Amino acid sequence: MLTAITKMGNRICLGLDYQKDTLLNLRCKEEFFCPVCGESVLLKLGDQRIFHFAHKQGGVCRDFFENESIYHMEGKRQLYQWLLKQKIPSVLEYYDKEIQQRPDIMFQFNGRKYALEYQCSTISESIFIKRTNSYLQNGYIPIWILSSSQIHFKRKNCVSLSNFQYLFLRTTSSGKLFIPSYCPEIHQFQIVESIIPFSIKNAFAHHSLYQIKNIGLNDLLEPQINHPIDFSSWNREIDKIKLNWTIHPSRQHKSFLNEIYNSHLNLFLLPPEIGLPVPHTLYFQTSPLIWQLYFYLDIISSKNPNDFITLEDINFFLKKRIARKEIMYRTLPQLERSNPVVAILEYLFQLEQLGIITRKRETTYQLKRKIIIPKSNREIEEAKVLFYQKYQPILSI
Ligand SMILES: [Zn+2]
């Protein structure tokens, strides 16, 4: 940890730039205590490691603080100095006695109180949610920043994200979603945005890199985001997962494949209208290929032109598939409102652009024409070519 209290009650914060000589001097004269548990702590001034305090004995605090890596301590020190340079009132390792939580940095910005957590190790989802809710209930805006070392782009614009990493997802005031991360070794923020998952782990995404000295807090809270997806790459990935699921189906994929089979469909002959990228599909853990196929089976396939699709139909469909765990929501604790119906409405909007449905009222749609199911490889290839030529500009998001 980077803060301690002296016998006289003064706070020593190693987040500020102290000279080693000054600290050596101070260490001869002073005793230091942990601001949380009050135990005596040692001031460590090695050449290799960042200057820090360490508990002499075990105790409750020890597990909490002493597993901190240099990477983590260095990261929060840099973020703290970054905020101070912007004249933002900030406290490093602020301990809130009431809620017994200690964000890495507490700061005040535009009249609001923020709790910044720079997270380098994996913690359980339940602890993450508990801390986040406790901040929200006590007037803090939580801001979780992931260490960049945890983010792996598999290819350009293709990232692998775990459920834990999705917990870091936050929103701009205009509703754009992104994951902020930071690397102290190269002094760089990495903002992962325009995230559109195509499978439970893998997503199309864009990332923007910013040197810490070049951006302000507002750029981190409200990053500029607008990267439309490349449809031919999307199509390629969807084809790849179809093949993967056939070769190595998980339990969830097996029930999906069975349902396709029982409906006399063929996975490889599904029309391109099933498996479209919609911006809020990340509200679901389930791949858009799967939930859109279920949507087709439950809602669209039985309808004839001029039949209606209502919000009630949609809610009933979701409830049924969620109860059977065939569609699953994603846990996104930092988003105060994340209604998965939004993703379905976005899908309906795309079907409307494609001339398959028309919107009659706020939440009522009417089927205009049936979705054509290709019957051979040749038909699907022709359908795809036509689809992408004709509709790519319409579906740009
Ligand atoms: Zn302590």
The b-or-e profile of 301-319 (16+ CB within 10 A means b, else e) is eebeeeeebeeebbeebbe
Q: Among 34-38, 72-76, 264-268, which is the least confidently predicted range? A: 34-38
| Local confidence band at 65 (pLDDT 50, 70, 90 cut-offs) | low
How remote is the CA of residue 296 from the centroid of ligand 1, in Å?
Answer: 57
d(CA 273, CA 241): 16
Residues 281-340 have pLDDT tens digits of 999 999 999 999 999 999 999 999 999 999 999 999 999 999 999 999 999 999 977 889
Domain shared by 95 and 209, yes or no: yes
What's the domain range around 284? 231-395
- Domain annotation covers residue 161: yes
Q: Which residues contact 146 (CB under 8 A, 6 or more apart)?
A: 119, 165, 168, 179, 180, 181, 182
- Domain annotation covers residue 63: yes
| Local confidence band at 257 (pLDDT 50, 70, 90 cut-offs) | very high
d(CA 174, CA 225): 10
Question: Does residue 397 register a pLDDT over 60?
Answer: no
How remote is the CA of residue 34 from the centroid of ligand 1, in Å?
Answer: 5
Domain shared by 387 and 261, yes or no: yes
Please give the tally of structural domains in the chain: 3
Question: Does residue 217 register a pLDDT over 80?
Answer: yes
pLDDT at 31: 93
The larger pLDDT score, comparing residue 395 to residue 139, is at 139
d(CA 310, CA 358): 12
Domain shared by 383 and 237, yes or no: yes
Domain shared by 147 and 62, yes or no: no
Give ion ligand 1 contacts, CB < 5 A.
34, 36-37, 39, 61
How remote is the CA of residue 187 from the centroid of ligand 1, in Å?
Answer: 29
- Domain annotation covers residue 250: yes
> Could you give the angle at which helices 288-295 and 311-323 cross, rounded to 10 degrees?
120
Domain shared by 172 and 95, yes or no: yes
Domain shared by 100 and 194, yes or no: yes
Residues 75-123 have pLDDT tens digits of 999 999 999 999 999 999 999 989 989 999 999 999 999 999 999 998 9
Of 221, 248, 265, the position where a domain reaches its end is: 221
Domain shared by 240 and 386, yes or no: yes
96 bridge partner residues: 101
Domain shared by 339 and 250, yes or no: yes
Query: In the structure encoding, which two tokens stand for residue 303, read together?
Result: 């309808």
Query: In the structure encoding, which two tokens stand for residue 36, read together?
Result: 């949380």
Residues 335-388 have pLDDT tens digits of 977 889 999 999 999 999 889 999 998 889 999 999 999 999 999 999 988 888
How remote is the CA of residue 96 from the centroid of ligand 1, in Å?
Answer: 14
Domain shared by 123 and 251, yes or no: no
Domain shared by 43 and 165, yes or no: no
Query: Of the candidates 57, 2, 83, 66, which has an alpha carbon nearest to the alpha carbon of residue 35?
Result: 2
Domain shared by 381 and 247, yes or no: yes
Of 47, 67, 87, the position where a domain reaches its end is: 67
pLDDT at 396: 58
Residues 138-197 have pLDDT tens digits of 999 999 999 999 999 988 889 999 999 999 999 999 989 999 999 999 999 999 999 999
Domain shared by 331 and 297, yes or no: yes
- Domain annotation covers residue 226: no
Q: Say if residues 4 and 32 touch (Cβ distance below 8 Å).
A: yes
Q: Among 65-69, 72-76, 178-182, which is the least confidently predicted range? A: 65-69
Residue 107: CATH number of its domain: 3.40.1350.10
pLDDT at 64: 64
How remote is the CA of residue 72 from the centroid of ligand 1, in Å?
Answer: 18
| Local confidence band at 230 (pLDDT 50, 70, 90 cut-offs) | confident
The larger pLDDT score, comparing residue 83 to residue 224, is at 83
